[in-house]
A and B are shown apart, each in its own frame.
Chain A
Amino acid sequence: MLKNYLKITFAVLLRRKFYTIVSLLGIVFTITVLLIASTILDHTVGEVPPEQYHERTLGIFRVSYQELNSDGEARTTISSSGSFHFLSELFEDLPGAEMATIVKNTGSYQTYINGQRVKYDVKFTDTEFWSFFNFTFLEGRAFTADEYESGASVVVINRDLRERLFGDEPGLNRDVEMDGVSYRVVGVIENVSSLRNIAYSEVWAPITSQVNFDRPDEITGNYKGLILAENRSSFPLIREEFVARIPRFEEPRNGRDVNITCFPETRFQYMARETFGNNYEEGDYSLLLWLMIFGIGLLFMLLPAINLVNLNISRIYERCDEIGIRKAFGAPSTTLVGQFITENIVFTFAGGLLSLIISYLSLLLLQSSDIIPYAEFHLNWRVFFYALLASFVFGLVSGVYPAWRMSKLHPVEALRGGVV
């Protein structure tokens, strides 16, 4: 049966090439845009190397600090990252957590080589950072716990910077200058995409190598924290314990009450809260963000879908003779509907495959354009699944109504040329 459906499908598609091409263009364009958008989204919030524990990771991305006057009105408000001291105290022996890491926000440094300015991004991290992420080492190693404790001036750099600083020579034990201090290179790793903003940098150095990094009186600062939970079910436990530890920092300052809002959340929850929520209240808006993303996707598919429905209906009337004859010879409506929907789904899947190729090429182009430094967009199985799903939904939506209209055609009318 299906074989017959497919045979007819190909015969029909080859018969009227104009319709086939126009419909195919529409499908390919729509699915390509959806694919590129979802790849970039996936690359930003999904698990992409060097991340390895994405599913079990919670982060402290934002610390909001308020000083309230006696009426409860906020007088001073600061909303940024946390301070090193604040985060390291909160992270101490957190129940339900396997490990935790603290990283400084990336800062930009520069040096002069033969009078040429070389700029690079630097990130200060702790030692857990190296077990949290799975970096590909090209040379050497990460800095050790001893080096970290002693505040040694050592760094790990990425492949690109090694090329810019030392040309083709190995970078191990060479010097990188940062603010007049020489740092010794102990390792070289593969480039990390700048979209992964916790792991990304070009130079990684120990937090302890900075002067004055631990300031006990500060709450907000330049540091973000990541917590690796033992498993997803310990998320609530970690959150509870973490939030319970905050009041010890809420001592009145400048004669005002202090209110600190910060809690562990996944990256997607953080994005959702940044979009819909506010910095001074806890809340999970991830469902809302999912709905918004799907809503925009559906809205975008609406016009192409209507267009395809219109084209499909036109195609049915062109095939009135065929439908009339088959009906007259006793074909039930279901067969005809099945035939038409199969045709449409085969067609959109073909479009989906074509879009996969086009998306792959466009992403290569985007990657080589250097708009997003070190980004490597791969079409992974998740994105492939999205494409499949999108084509299926698209095919079904644009096929069902025309098929229903077709099944309603009266054989006599159909043979005469059809009635609107």
Chain B
Amino acid sequence: MIRHLLRLVWNRKRFNFLLMLEIFVSFIVLFSVGVLAEIFVTRVKKPLGIHYDNVYTLGFDFRDLESEWNETKYNQIMEIFDEIERLSSVEAVAINCPVTFGMAVSSRNLTYNDNSVSSQYSRFSDDAREVFGIEMIQGEWFSEEHDALDWTPIVINRMLAEELFGDEDPIGKPVLEDGSMRVVGVIEDFRSSGEYGQIKRFYLLRQSTTHYSSYAIYNLVIRTHPNPPEDFQENVMDIVHTVMPDMAINIDPLEKLKARNRQFALVPLTITIVIAAFLMIMVALGMIGVFWQSITRRREEIGLRRALGSTKKTLYQNLLMEIFLIVNLGSALAAIILVQLPVIGVLSFLSWKTMFVALGFSFVLIYLLSFMSGMYPVWLATRIQPAEALHYE
């Protein structure tokens, strides 16, 4: 049966080749969309590592941090810190610079034995755990006892722990050659760029709240009760402006920063999907036209087949099978080439899982597409009356 169909396809090879090419390219387009979608869906499903609802960020807009940061500023900000903590609607306040979900990132090279990786980081004070509801998977969180240490404690995320220490237990290990920074705890894969962000190596650096340090504090995070009073933001603003009258500040719910990150991630994805969808509609309409035409041109053959006893049903099946054969050839060729890509090093960031999910996605859609565009023309073919068709000849 298949051999018979193959011969039919081969007989019209030049015509079918172009169709196959179209399917081939469509398959690659669908595959790209599939890869993007798979990557994003996987990211969204992973835990974020922190709780951000009812958390506000208070950013101090220093014009020039390095020259402006001094002990007076430190004392003023700590005064604001304490005032905010005293508000009845506030559960916890902490330092977090640069702010989680914000645009700014800091990064630094960490070294353990001969292993060196670069990692993003942010400064957190002891209360940050309460503000963000951070869960530890190993070790301990920062505490006031750490003030007495002559090295800075850090908490690292799972990815950094795996890449820097491998199978070793990271607790207590130094991450700089001079030993001035050591790991005290490990948390889940925390993503500071939001749920659509890539999981990156990340560590949390302890910032002490008991004494002045040369590291500027320019951002606080505040956890409020589930329903903060409506004038909460104004209250905070008043507190800041009583202490620092000229300071420019930003108070935003953390959700807002996260939404901006989401928009950054989703806009390119949406554009890709819309363009791909339009391309596919175009291909579908084009294929309807092509199939239609090819059925009209095969009237005699179809008439003959009907006259020789082929039922409507078998004819319908045969013609659809023919279309599927072409579709299979085109998409299988594309799939075979695409599977090679990670092997030869192009697109090596693709995991096998992403690869196969995207391939499956493309196969399903391309079958659906060709079935939908083949259905009507093939149905028209089965309506051909043998007598009429042969009369035409």
* Interface residues of A, Cβ cutoff 8 Å to B: 18-19, 22, 25-26, 29, 33, 107-110, 179-180, 212, 300, 302-304, 306-311, 313-315, 317-318, 405, 417-418, 420
Contacts and interface: CB of A to CB of B under 8 A. Distances in A.
A119 to B, nearest CB: 9
Query: Shortest 10 CB-CB distances between A and B: which pairs?
Result: A180-B246, A314-B293, A307-B286, A22-B285, A26-B282, A420-B12, A306-B22, A303-B25, A310-B290, A314-B290
Given A22-B286, A180-B246, A303 B29 contact: yes
B349 interface: no
Contacts, number: 81
Contact of A310 (B11, B67, B279, B286): B286
B283 A313 contact: no
A309 B18 contact: yes
Given A29-B282, A303-B279, A307-B286, A179 B293 contact: no
Interface string B194-205: 000000000000
B290 A311 contact: yes
B63 A306 contact: no
B297 A311 contact: no
Contact of B289 (A29, A107, A109, A311): A311
A352 B199 CA distance: 44
A418 B12 CA distance: 12
Contacts of B11: 420
Nearest to A22: B285
Interface of A is mostly: helix
Given A107-B63, A307-B22, 5 more contacts: A22-B282, A29-B282, A109-B248, A303-B22, A310-B286
Nearest to A180: B246
B336 interface: no
Contact of A212 (B67, B288, B296): B67
A25 B283 CA distance: 11
Contacts of B275: 33, 300
A25 B282 contact: yes
Interface in B282-335: 282-283, 285-290, 292-294, 296-297
B61 interface: yes
B73 to A, nearest CB: 14
Interface string B246-277: 10100000000000000000000000000100
B345 interface: no
Nearest to B293: A314
B391 interface: no
Contact of A306 (B25, B67, B278): B25
A285 B300 CA distance: 60
Which secondary structure dominates chain B's binding surface?
A: helix
16 contacts: A22-B289, A26-B285, A26-B286, A29-B278, A109-B61, A179-B248, A306-B21, A307-B22, A309-B18, A310-B22, A311-B286, A314-B290, A317-B297, A318-B293, A420-B14, A420-B297
B284 to A, nearest CB: 10
Interface of B: 11-12, 14-15, 18-19, 21-22, 25-26, 29, 61, 63-64, 67, 245-246, 248, 275, 278-279, 282-283, 285-290, 292-294, 296-297
Contacts of B19: 310
Contact of A313 (B18, B63, B278, B282): B18
Given A180-B246, A306-B22, A417-B297, A19 B63 contact: no
A310 B25 contact: no
A300 B151 CA distance: 55
Contacts of B289: 18-19, 22, 310-311, 314
Contacts of B297: 317, 417-418, 420
A177 to B, nearest CB: 9
Contact of A314 (B25, B64, B279, B294): B294
A335 to B, nearest CB: 23
Nearest to A320: B297
A359 B63 CA distance: 41
A318 B297 CA distance: 8
Contacts of A109: 61, 248
A268 B15 CA distance: 44
Contacts of B21: 306
A295 B246 CA distance: 52
A304 B61 CA distance: 50
Contacts of A405: 14
Contacts of B248: 109-110, 179
Contacts of A417: 297
B63 A304 contact: no
B18 A306 contact: yes
A92 to B, nearest CB: 25
A51 B293 CA distance: 54
Contact of A303 (B12, B283, B285, B290): B283
A22 B281 CA distance: 10
A300 B276 CA distance: 10
Contacts of A311: 286, 289-290
Nearest to B13: A420
> For B275, B289, B292, which residue has the most chain A Cβ atoms within 10 angstroms?
B289
A297 B11 CA distance: 35
B18 A303 contact: no
Nearest to B22: A306
A25 B278 CA distance: 10
Contacts of A29: 278, 282
B18 A310 contact: yes
Given A19-B289, A33-B275, A310-B286, A179 B22 contact: no
B282 A180 contact: no
Nearest to B294: A314
Contact of A304 (B67, B282, B287, B292): B282
Contacts of B245: 180
A41 to B, nearest CB: 15
A212 B67 CA distance: 9
B60 to A, nearest CB: 12
A306 B22 CA distance: 6
Contacts of B18: 306, 309-310, 313
B15 A25 contact: no
A18 B29 CA distance: 25
Contact of B283 (A300, A307, A318): A307
Contacts of A18: 289
A107 B14 CA distance: 62
A69 B67 CA distance: 27
Contacts of B292: 314
A331 B248 CA distance: 81
Contacts of A25: 282, 285
Nearest to A16: B289
